Amino acid sequence: MTCKHNMIDYAPVSYPDMRICTECGLITRMDPLVRDYLIHCYLYYKLDSAVIPDAEFDLICKKLLESDIEHKLVSKEDLAAGTGYSISEYPEDIIKQAEDLLDKYAVMPSERSEEDFIPSNIPTWLLLGLYIDFGYARLRDAQALVQEEIKLRWAAGLDRDIFERYFKDHSVSPERFGINVVKKNRGRPKTRTERAAPKGKEGS
């Protein structure tokens, strides 16, 4: 018989993002997309701040709405409206991560010292978002610094899973970040005669 999964919090203090089924013992963690949504909702609606542009937040809402991901704090109505205003309470780990992001990245480069803004210290997923954000804000110098770091990480093969997920979740191509994706050369297509010839006799 298939379990209907009566999920409850696993350990609200030690593991706030984990839930366990009281019937079969299945343990799940908060989906990364839900985590991103809650962090940015808390930043915007509780701290009156943001580290990503509205367009990116709208994309997060759209992806969640189109998925089958469910969470007790996430409502389809809020996602459809592109908001999180109705959320009144947040998990402690979400609050901490949001506050950490605010402390590090919410201030624009124009308000920082050059020493403070070091792209190499910024996580890849946030670096990609900052590149888009700086483009909207026309902060070309800061965008160029971020782009240089993005291209270095891509060339070194770092965080490829994060890159691929970002490209997919936000429906953008690597080229938007100045990344040249080398496509394999498969050579000249075979002619109909070559395709029909037995193996080992092409060109004879």
Distances, alpha carbon 199 to alpha carbons 55, 72, 190, 195, 202, in Å: 54, 60, 13, 9, 7
Enumerate the domain spans of the chain: 1-30, 32-106, 107-181
Q: Which two tokens stand for residue 96?
A: 């901490």
- Which percentage of the chain shows pLDDT scores above 90? 9
More confident residue, 52 or 10: 52
- CA 158 to chain centroid, in Å, comes to 16
Amino acid identity of 135?
A: G
Rounded to an integer, the average pLDDT of 178-195 is: 65
Tell whether the model's pLDDT for residue 150 goes beyond 90: yes
Query: pLDDT digit string (tens) for 15-71?
Result: 555 656 666 666 566 778 888 899 999 988 888 887 777 788 888 899 888 988 888
Amino acid identity of 151?
A: K
pLDDT at 153: 92
